[in-house]
């Protein structure tokens, strides 16, 4: 049961509140005066407290709020009084009260106030824990996370690092694929050798051949190429799905023969690199659609490392936010120490389509704009402040609006595929299908649309 301390000198009122709250899952403990409440707080833990403004003795409920704010700042106080007025409410909030209720009130109204106050208590405790975790938790390279998904990733990276096999890192944009690639390199036997990274989508196609394989004098400016530059170390090919079809067989040959031939020469040079590639595309589907060579896919996909999106990492959102908050506060010299509970709620509710990169950007902005020692809701970007979670309507009360199961299935399948930006491998995993089953369903949907269009055309 949830615990609440009620400071009330009226025994009958306390008994009524304790009985009604007990039915709603609250364990209520009574203190008849301010000093007795402070003693109980020293010996027991409570999620929230309720204090009457007018108490027996010298200590009023408002004075008790001030004492709580000093000695027990993490326990929110809801103030109640039979002499409700705007002035009293303002004074209660200034004294540190979380909420204010005027008698008479319904028990339901009190419970709502208690639940909100308890949630605030939990959030403040979680933010404080995460702040400690950022300081005390051993860092896994530059990766930050405590969620089960990230712990599995850390374990896999450690095991992958010991191998010399090629690695394919997959994950949505902004999840930190290059950070994972560098972690694999630093923890492996090639750590003292070069780590060379190239983004296949950023280099213009006419220049990519020389960037990868090098170029000798006589065919333009001499270039060494990233395969040779990474000799003995790790070559990171980011966005490998964007590798032009004409260059795919050449990359395959280098990986198979361990030799590279720079443009402008017939001489093949031995090369010893470990390949780590990355993509945010559905490379499995590209192979099925003949847009990426299957033999090259098998070469680069010896070991697959999948990075979870931020929305699948639970409380890591706040851990990451606190990490970047400390980083940018230190860089800019701003006295920002933590997250206000309201801001934490907004960060947890937002789906983070841009993943860690978007979260990092939002926190950097918030630190720059913060007016207090905590990031508040107002410091967050508007898209995060205004976000409202969407809900799937499973059925309508109107039978005429209900749909057949095949229609419901199609809507849901297409919604999942859309939500993962067309990544069929990830969509199949979410839906509980294998990729071939999902592919057949999508083809069936497309054929049904085409057939429907033909039928309509015939009837016109």
Q: What is the pLDDT along the chain (460 residues), one digit of tens a residue?
A: 788 899 888 888 888 888 888 888 888 899 888 888 898 988 888 888 888 887 777 788 788 888 888 888 878 888 887 765 667 767 777 778 888 887 777 878 888 888 888 777 677 666 666 666 555 544 566 788 888 889 899 999 999 998 999 999 999 999 999 999 999 999 999 999 999 999 999 999 889 999 999 987 654 557 889 999 999 999 999 999 999 999 999 999 999 999 999 888 888 999 999 999 999 999 999 999 999 999 999 999 999 999 999 988 887 888 899 889 989 998 998 988 888 878 888 898 899 999 999 999 999 999 999 998 889 999 999 999 988 754 444 444 445 445 677 777 787 788 777 766 677 776 777 677 777 788 888 888 887 777 665 544 455 5
> How high is the pLDDT of residue 297?
97
399-459 CATH: 1.10.10.60
CA distance 8 to 18: 11
Cite the DSSP H helix spans in 175-315. 177-186, 205-213, 226-229, 248-257, 283-288, 294-300
> How high is the pLDDT of residue 206?
87
Closest residue by Cα to residue 442 from 403, 405, 416: 416
Long-range contacts of 108-113 (CB under 8 A, 24+ apart): 110/17, 110/21, 110/50, 110/78, 110/80, 111/21, 111/24, 111/26, 113/78
CA distance 154 to 293: 30
Total length of the chain: 460
Architecture in CATH of 311-385: Orthogonal Bundle (1.10)
> How high is the pLDDT of residue 391?
46
CA distance 245 to 222: 24
> How high is the pLDDT of residue 342?
82
Q: Which CATH number fits domain 2-133: 3.40.50.2300, 3.40.1500.10, 3.40.50.10490, 3.30.420.10?
A: 3.40.50.2300
148-306 CATH: 3.40.50.300
> For 17, phi and psi rounded to 5 degrees?
-65, -45
- Domains of the chain, residue spans: 2-133, 148-306, 311-385, 399-459
What SS3 class is residue 165?
coil
Is residue 261 within 8 A of residue 209, CB to CB? The reply is no
Burial 19-34 (b: 16+ CB within 10 A, else e): ebbeeeebebbbbbbb
> How high is the pLDDT of residue 135?
54
pTM of the full predicted structure? 0.62
Establish whether domains 311-385 and 399-459 are of one fold. Answer: no
Pair of tokens at residue 424:
């069929």
Is residue 236 within 8 A of residue 246, CB to CB? The reply is no
């Amino acid at each position: 049961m949830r615990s609440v301390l009620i400071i009330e000198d009226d025994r009958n009122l306390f008994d009524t509140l304790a009985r009604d709250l007990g039915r709603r899952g609250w364990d209520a403990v009574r203190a008849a005066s301010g000093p007795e409440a402070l003693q109980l707080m020293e010996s027991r833990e409570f999620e929230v407290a309720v204090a009457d403004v007018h108490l027996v003795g010298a200590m009023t409920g408002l004075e008790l709020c001030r004492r709580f704010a000093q000695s027990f700042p993490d326990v929110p106080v809801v103030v109640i009084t039979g002499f409700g007025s705007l002035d009293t409410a303002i004074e209660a909030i200034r004294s540190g009260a979380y909420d204010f209720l005027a008698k008479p009130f319904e028990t339901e109204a009190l419970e709502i106030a208690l639940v909100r106050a308890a949630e605030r208590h939990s959030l403040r405790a979680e933010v404080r824990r995460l702040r400690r975790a950022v300081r005390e938790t051993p860092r896994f390279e530059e990766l930050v996370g405590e969620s089960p998904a990230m712990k599995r990733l850390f374990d896999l990276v450690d095991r992958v690092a010991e191998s010399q096999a090629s690695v394919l890192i997959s994950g949505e944009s902004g999840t930190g694929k290059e950070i994972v690639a560098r972690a694999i390199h630093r923890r492996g036997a090639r750590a003292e050798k070069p780590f060379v990274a190239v983004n296949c989508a950023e280099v213009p196609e006419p220049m990519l051949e020389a960037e990868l394989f090098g170029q000798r004098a006589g065919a333009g400016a001499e270039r060494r190429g990233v395969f040779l530059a990474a000799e003995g170390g790790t070559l990171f090919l980011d966005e490998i799905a964007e590798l032009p079809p004409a260059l795919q067989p050449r990359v395959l040959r280098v990986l198979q023969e361990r030799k590279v031939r720079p443009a402008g020469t017939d001489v093949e040079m031995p090369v010893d690199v470990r390949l780590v590639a990355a993509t945010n595309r559905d490379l499995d589907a590209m192979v099925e659609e003949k847009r990426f060579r299957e033999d090259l896919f098998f070469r680069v996909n010896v070991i697959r490392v999948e990075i979870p999106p931020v929305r699948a990492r639970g409380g890591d959102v706040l851990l990451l936010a606190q990490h970047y908050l400390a980083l940018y506060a230190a860089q800019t010299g701003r006295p920002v120490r933590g997250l206000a509970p309201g801001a934490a709620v907004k960060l947890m509710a937002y789906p983070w389509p841009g993943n860690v990169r978007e979260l990092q950007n939002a926190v950097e902005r918030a630190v720059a704009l913060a007016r207090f020692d905590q990031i508040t809701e107002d410091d967050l970007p508007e898209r995060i402040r205004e976000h409202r979670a969407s809900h799937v309507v499973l059925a309508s009360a109107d039978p005429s609006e209900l749909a057949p199961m095949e229609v419901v299935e199609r809507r849901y399948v297409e919604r999942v595929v859309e939500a993962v930006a067309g990544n069929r491998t990830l969509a199949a995993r979410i839906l509980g299908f294998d990729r071939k089953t999902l592919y057949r369903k999508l083809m069936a949907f497309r054929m049904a649309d085409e057939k429907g269009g033909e039928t309509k055309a015939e009837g016109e």
